[in-house]
Amino acid sequence: MAKPQLQLALDHTNLESALQTVKILHPYIDIIESGTILCVSEGMKAVRELRALYPDHTLVADLKVADAGETLATEAFNAGADWMTVICAAPLATMAKAHEVAQARGGEIQIELFGNWTLDDARAWHQLGIKQAIYHRGRDAQASGQSWGKADLDLMKQLSDIGLELSITGGIVPEDLPLFRDITVRAFIVGRALAQAADPAAAANAFHSAIDALWGDQHA
Amino acid sequence: MAKPQLQLALDHTNLESALQTVKILHPYIDIIESGTILCVSEGMKAVRELRALYPDHTLVADLKVADAGETLATEAFNAGADWMTVICAAPLATMAKAHEVAQARGGEIQIELFGNWTLDDARAWHQLGIKQAIYHRGRDAQASGQSWGKADLDLMKQLSDIGLELSITGGIVPEDLPLFRDITVRAFIVGRALAQAADPAAAANAFHSAIDALWGDQHA
């Protein structure tokens, strides 16, 4: 298992402030995410500008696509995204179309896990050729007090066993990382804990230190 | 039950062509929808421009919100939307937050039904105060040959009985309308069948004629 990467989620409502954040943080992160809020506010212009400014980072368009997989994947990958998210509630046909466009562009689809879904669904996604999913403790769920629990961790392990790499998000702090030691983690996704840190570089490095301590010797 | 309205879904990948379509069709429709594709491509600029040009139409931002209900609802209603969609897979907390913002602005939330959901979920949405849902035969599902069936219609009837008004979409043609006679229909949502019609006004009027023939006498 490769070492998990660090993903910066840009959930700003305007592109200018998102660009200020990434300007400070880009040396300390592996993956830049144009978050749903940014994509909805600014459209694919956000992805195009991030691609132009940061050609070497992996770039995610977090669109949470629910339908029209082919059209939206074409928009996202044309704008320069490497990865695009599809919501787990989308019909399998939508995932198949999005995955087809992604493959043709050398990109990848990530299934965003929200609400009702089953391990059978996850197996069906994996059979389509989709390799990634995002395990999300939702912003509103967090605010209402839901935390990482054994049920979450067991489910993540089962998803790993199916063959899906997970990116994990939702108010993660470096102290949480040991919880995920047995999971195939592609990335930890962090938004406000980096963007709003008093010292953003130090906040990012705290994640990298925790990742190195837990996964570092697998990185040989 | 009021007479169903006609909603034009703008699923263009650029605002200019969307504005051309609505320029032709606006006298013949009740509701303008800035579709997910348009919102993703152009951001909230699309909703702002539609609001400025058509102040008297009901305006929908079809964002299919899955998280961050408060922020995205604020973006959508600030841009001038009257209604905003939330995906059924969103946590109840997201729906509650979005609904709160909508209520404060005199707007409404529509739950977009996709993938796995239950009638118990629908009762929970209704208990939050949400009055509308969108029953969607997905674009990709249509393309793979799924049609309106008895299972769809029975489910729509049960949603009506719970108290949810439905907007119905997915390749609808005027000949389909009698199928929905026993459902509480808020709107029929039509995209390409209007936008790409040889005679868009005639296509819209064919819907209105079918609506009047089926629901007209309830419009007194």
| Beta carbons of A89 and B89 less than 8 Å apart | yes
Distance CA B77, CA B80 (A): 5
Q: What is the pLDDT of chain A when averaged over all its residues? A: 93
Residues 6 or more apart in contact with residue B104 via CB below 8 angstroms: none
Size of interface A-B (CB pairs under 8 A): 152
Question: What's residue B67's pLDDT?
Answer: 87
With cut-offs at 50, 70 and 90, classify the pLDDT of residue B116.
confident
Distance CA B105, CA A129 (A): 44
Q: Taking the domain A5-218, which CATH number applies? A: 3.20.20.70
If we measure between CA atoms, which residue out of A42, A48, A40, A41 comes closest to residue A32?
A48
Predicted structure pTM score: 0.92
pLDDT at B205 over 90: yes
- CB burial of residue B11 (10 Å; 0-12, 13-18, 19+): buried
* Chain A positions in Cβ-Cβ contact with residue B139 (cut-off 8 Å): 67-68, 94
Q: Which residue of A has its CA nearest to B38?
A: A43
Sorted by where each begins, the domain ranges of chain A are: 5-218
Mean pLDDT within A167-191: 94
With cut-offs at 50, 70 and 90, classify the pLDDT of residue B133.
very high
Q: What is the percent of chain A where pLDDT is above 90?
A: 83
* Chain B positions in Cβ-Cβ contact with residue A120 (cut-off 8 Å): none
Residue A43 Ramachandran class (φ > 0 left, ψ -120 to 50 alpha, else beta): left
The three-class DSSP label of residue A137 is coil
Please give the ipTM for the structure prediction: 0.89
pLDDT at A192 over 60: yes
